[in-house]
Amino acid sequence: MAVDNDQDTGVPLTGDGGTPVLPGGPSPEDFPAVAKANPPAAPPPDEGALRAFVVGGAYGLLALLGLAMGCIGSLHYRWSAGPVPVAAIVLVALNFAVPWLVGWGMRAKSAAAVPWVTWMAVVIAASSPRAEGDLLITGDLPGYLFMIGGMVTGGLAVALTRSAGVPGAWLLGPGVTRDRT
């Protein structure tokens, strides 16, 4: 058995393989049953899978929010107070506020884009005439204000959203940061 001796006292500090030995006490090799009964702690559960599940669920709910905004807006954009299309103006403001607040809350441009893109899909489908002649969003002032105003303000909200990462990190690749000196 290789033993390291302390220079001052001559007391062995470690046994074979660097295992600490107490002076006059037993070594860990003397109790193999205890070592088998107390195996090393298992690694913590993979938190990445749970995080991916939660984030994926959040993005799914954001897509449903955009679909709901598009459906409700397509049916109610024509409400007006005299010649002023009040509902279209309110819906355009909401189409800015919702993506911007979502992007701010989740700290990601992609989170802001999800409700906006799904809203656009519904609005484009609702403004396309069918063979039967059905049309939800018409080509008049409230309709154009709702469609074009919503697309512009939603895109502006996505553009104004700040991401949590370093600007340009998507271009530089994972693990690469820019020095700002």
What is the per-residue pLDDT for 39?
60
What is the per-residue pLDDT for 38?
59
Name the token pair of 20: 């600490």
What is the per-residue pLDDT for 61?
96
Q: Quick check: 19 and 28 in contact, CB under 8 A?
A: yes
Mark the ranges of the chain whose per-residue pLDDT is less than 70.
1-45, 165-181
For residue 146, which of 180, 119, 107, 128 has the smallest C-alpha distance? 119
What is the per-residue pLDDT for 130?
84
Name the token pair of 22: 């107490």
What is the per-residue pLDDT for 63?
97
Distance from C-alpha of 137 to C-alpha of 80, rounded to nearest angstrom: 15
Q: pTM score, two decimals?
A: 0.66
Q: Quick check: 23 and 14 in contact, CB under 8 A?
A: no
What is the per-residue pLDDT for 25?
61
For residue 157, which of 92, 65, 70, 67 has the smallest C-alpha distance? 92
What is the per-residue pLDDT for 139?
87
Query: Vertex 179, ends 175 and 181: CA angle to 5°?
Result: 165
Distance from C-alpha of 148 to C-alpha of 28, rounded to nearest angstrom: 75
